[in-house]
């Protein structure tokens, strides 16, 4: 009986260790990124719309950010500009 209990405990500890190690490795090897498409309507500026597009990724080895951030502001009384 004691051998069976000891074997179950060893297997349970090994599985827990493998699971936590797997999650830690998956997190460190994943690419961190920020993405989004926020929209704002500014009534104080007249009927002005602000469109944002964000796609930024981090290089996991050098920790350098790269990507694209685009802002477009539109107003029917003025021309659009970026």
Average pLDDT in the 59-63 region? 79
Statement: residue 51 has pLDDT above 70: yes
Average pLDDT in the 34-41 region? 80
Task: Please indicate whether residue 63 or residue 27 has the higher confidence score (pLDDT).
Answer: 63
C-beta separation of 36 from 61 below 8 A: no
Q: What is the pLDDT of residue 36?
A: 79
Q: What is the pLDDT of residue 29?
A: 57
Query: pLDDT above 90 covers what percent of the chain?
Result: 0
Under 8 Å CB-to-CB from 47, ≥6 apart: which residues?
41, 75, 76, 77
């Amino acid at each position: 009986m004691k051998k069976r209990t000891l074997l179950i405990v060893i297997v349970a500890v090994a599985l827990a260790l493998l699971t936590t190690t797997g999650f830690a490795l998956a997190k460190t090897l994943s690419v961190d990124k920020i993405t989004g498409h926020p929209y704002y309507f500014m009534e104080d500026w007249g009927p002005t719309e602000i469109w944002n597009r964000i796609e930024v990724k981090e290089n996991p080895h050098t920790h350098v950010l790269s990507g694209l951030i685009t802002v477009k502001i539109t107003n029917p009384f003025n021309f659009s500009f970026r």
